[in-house]
Structures are given as C-alpha cells and as structure tokens.
Amino acid sequence: MNPDQRKQSVGIVTPRHFVIEEGLKLQCGQVLAPITLCYEVYGTLSKNADNAILIEHALSGDAHVAGYHSPEDAKPGWWESMVGPGKTFDTEKYFIVCSNIIGGCSGSTGPSSINPKTGKRYGMDFPLVTIADMVHAQKKLMDHLKIRKWLCVAGGSMGGMQVLRWALLYPDSLVSAIPIATSSRISPQSIAFNWVGREAIMSDPAWNGGNYEEQPDKGLAIARMLAHITYLSEESMRRKFGRKLQFSQDYSFDFDKDFSVESYLEHQGMRFVERFDANSYLYITRAIDYFDVTDKTGGDMAKGLEKMKCKCLVVSFTSDWLFPPEQSREMVRGMLKNGLDVSYCNIESSYGHDAFLLEDDTLGRLISNFLSNLETDKE
C-alpha cells in the first residue's frame, strides 16, 4: 500500500467473526447450526447508535468492502472508492458494517465449511439458503452489535436484493434503503444464465457430485466467464476490445484464443477460481433465482412491497441489461403506489451492470446527498 492510498483509506482492517450457536431455521425448513458470520466494521458507533450503515455485497463479494488486510496487500476492499474518511460512506461520520453472507466462502458458513455432524465439509449436504435467510442471519449480527436501527442499508446487484428483504422483513429496523442496479425479481433470462453456469460446474468431472478436494476449475471458470459477459455492456466491450487480435496480426485458423476479448474472459475465469468456491456459486445463484418480492402476491408489485416503511433511493444504469432500468422503475412505481418517500435515478453509463462499482463519482454524489438529507431530518 503506498502512502497516498493509506491517507485516503480506512487503513488496515481485521475481519471479525460472530457465531450464532443456535443457528437458524431456514426457509427450506432445515435448521443450520451453528452459523459463523464473517464481518468487518469501519468508523465508530455513535453514543446513540444512530449512525450505523449496513453495506450488502453482490454474488462474488465478501465482507472486505474497504481498506487492507495487511500492509503488503496490493488490492483494497471491493468498494474502496466509496467507503472511507471523507468518502461517500464517510467513516468519520458513519459506522459501516459489511457481512459475508451465509452460503458464501469468505469466512461465513457455507458449503465449504465443516459440518459438525460429520467432521467433513458440507458439500452438497449444505441446505438451500435464500436471500431472506441471509438477512435473518444479519439481523442477529445487528443485535449482537447493539444497533437498534440502521441509518441505511445499501447494496448493489444481489446486495440490492438483500436491501429489499431487510426493508420487508424488518421494516422498523432501518431508516432508509438504497437498492442499486438490482431487481425485485430476476427475469427468466437471468435464471437461464444462472442455470447454464451451474450446469458448467456440475458437468466438470472434477466436481464429483460436490465432493471435490480440488476445485472444478474448468466448470467454475466457464460459469464466471458466462456471468461476466452479462456484467458488461455491448458498448463497453466494443470500446475496450473491439475485434482486436491478442497475439498476432492474423487469425490462427484453429480454436485457440485469437481475440483480446477471449483472453480477457479466460483471465477473469481463472482469477475467480483462485478465490471462490464452486459449491458456493451453485447455492448463491439459486438463492438469486428464488428471490421474488411478489411471489406471495400473484405478481402485484405494490402488494409485494407494502410492508416497507423506510425512505428509499433506487438507482439503475442505462446500459445495464442484466437488471435493466425498467425493473427498477417497476419497483419505484410500486413504492409510490404505497405512498413511500422514494427517489429514483437512472444514471447514464456505458459500463453495463458493473456500473455500480465503476461510476463512483456520479453514484457517490447521489448517495452522499441522500445521506445528508437523512442527517438533516434527524436534527
């Protein structure tokens, strides 16, 4: 870490672990116990415990939202541009919490964890979890930290789904919600992409029914490559890669990597294999498939959102075709029909779905103004 980065960062942070000994009864009907949640905190909780913000991570994210785990770390947390002193989620004003989800593979209980009943990894004996289950576990963490009410719960993509579940399951536990680049229910197209990714993993002979010692590298890398395509826009891919050849001035006339975009996707796939568990990918994408705030209301969005009480800022991006702006607008219309105080912004961007991680200037100003208004309301 260079000195300039250290000045702008929360600096060195240490992951913490909270154990829910009694576990949880999950939506699938099974009990998962005990449960460990890996989490990180930044800033100081105010005397009245009224400055706490929960940040939710996306599918491949973790609790390490900002800072560095050691002075030797070359890469900071996944939302370093937004979390820290003087930044959007200002750690000099707010107490920031980020927790790795159950089902994950970055310190929280998931398929790669040891099953206390067998002394071996859960593997496919791990029960199916939902977005609601993830939030119920986080609520226990909230109580453990003695936080009475979140000032805000914010997150993008799958993180935005957790934001919505918080607002519906625990409407009195948050002042505001910021769901970003997300959906109230994913489309059949998104379910299809998730299905193909899981099939790629389970078709890899190394997967071995989920009981692998070594990662099913090929299958997991293909799943990641497929998903990564959905995170980008056609315009961003054209500008970044075009039809550039990677290694020569002419085609190879075989099936090796000719184009820059092919090499890029292979690189993304292999990097992912080094840090993520294949079984976790199966479980988390299934949780995303099952997420639907209207599943008990026959598709009626307003009824699906009627338990929400908090102020909301909903953000989408013009080039996001994974969770397109119309899905956010549908959500906003349901909120308005219920009389909620909701603001909506569709940010112009060419980055596609990944814009929520890349448009930090525009998104940062938007969120900062929203949070400032919350502070004004408290006075």
Q: What is the mean pLDDT of the chain?
A: 95
Q: How far apart are CA 150 and CA 378, in angstroms?
A: 13
98 pLDDT exceeds 90? yes
Which residues belong to CATH 3.40.50.1820 in the chain? 3-185+292-378
Band of pLDDT at residue 235, cut at 50, 70 and 90 = very high
Q: What are phi and psi of 27, to 5 degrees?
A: -60, -25
pTM tops 0.85, yes or no: yes
What is the C-alpha end-to-end distance of the chain, expressed in Å? 39
Q: What is the pLDDT of residue 350?
A: 97
Q: What is the pLDDT of residue 97?
A: 98
Determine the CATH number of domain 191-285.
1.10.1740.110
Q: What is the pLDDT of residue 335?
A: 98
Q: How far apart are CA 139 and CA 134, in angstroms?
A: 9
Question: Which class for 88: exposed (0-12), middle (13-18), buried (19 or more C-beta within 10 A)?
Answer: buried
2 pLDDT exceeds 60? no
DSSP string spanning 279-309? HHHHHHHHHHHH-BTTTTTTT-HHHHTTT--
Instruction: List, for residues 178-193, the tens digit of each pLDDT value.
Output: 999 999 999 999 999 9
379 pLDDT exceeds 70? no
Question: Which class for 234: exposed (0-12), middle (13-18), buried (19 or more C-beta within 10 A)?
Answer: exposed
Band of pLDDT at residue 377, cut at 50, 70 and 90 = low
Q: What is the pLDDT of residue 250?
A: 87
- What does the block give as tokens for 119? 């002394």
Active site residues: 157, 320, 353
Band of pLDDT at residue 5, cut at 50, 70 and 90 = very low
- Which residues are CB-neighbours of 213 under 8 A, at least 6 positions away? none
- Average of per-residue pLDDT across 81-106: 97
324 pLDDT exceeds 70? yes
Q: How far apart are CA 57 and CA 103, in angstroms?
A: 13
- For domain 3-185+292-378, give its CATH number from 3.40.1390.10, 3.20.20.70, 3.40.50.1820, 3.40.190.10: 3.40.50.1820
Which residues belong to CATH 1.10.1740.110 in the chain? 191-285
Q: Which residue has the higher pLDDT, 6 or 139?
A: 139
Instruction: List, for residues 240-287, the tens digit of each pLDDT value.
Output: 999 999 887 889 888 988 999 999 999 999 999 999 999 999 999 999
Band of pLDDT at residue 378, cut at 50, 70 and 90 = low
1 pLDDT exceeds 50? no
Q: How far apart are CA 376 and CA 371, in angstroms?
A: 9
**One-letter amino acid for residue 162 of the chain:** Q
Instruction: List, for residues 56-90, the tens digit of each pLDDT value.
Output: 999 999 999 999 999 999 899 999 999 999 999 99
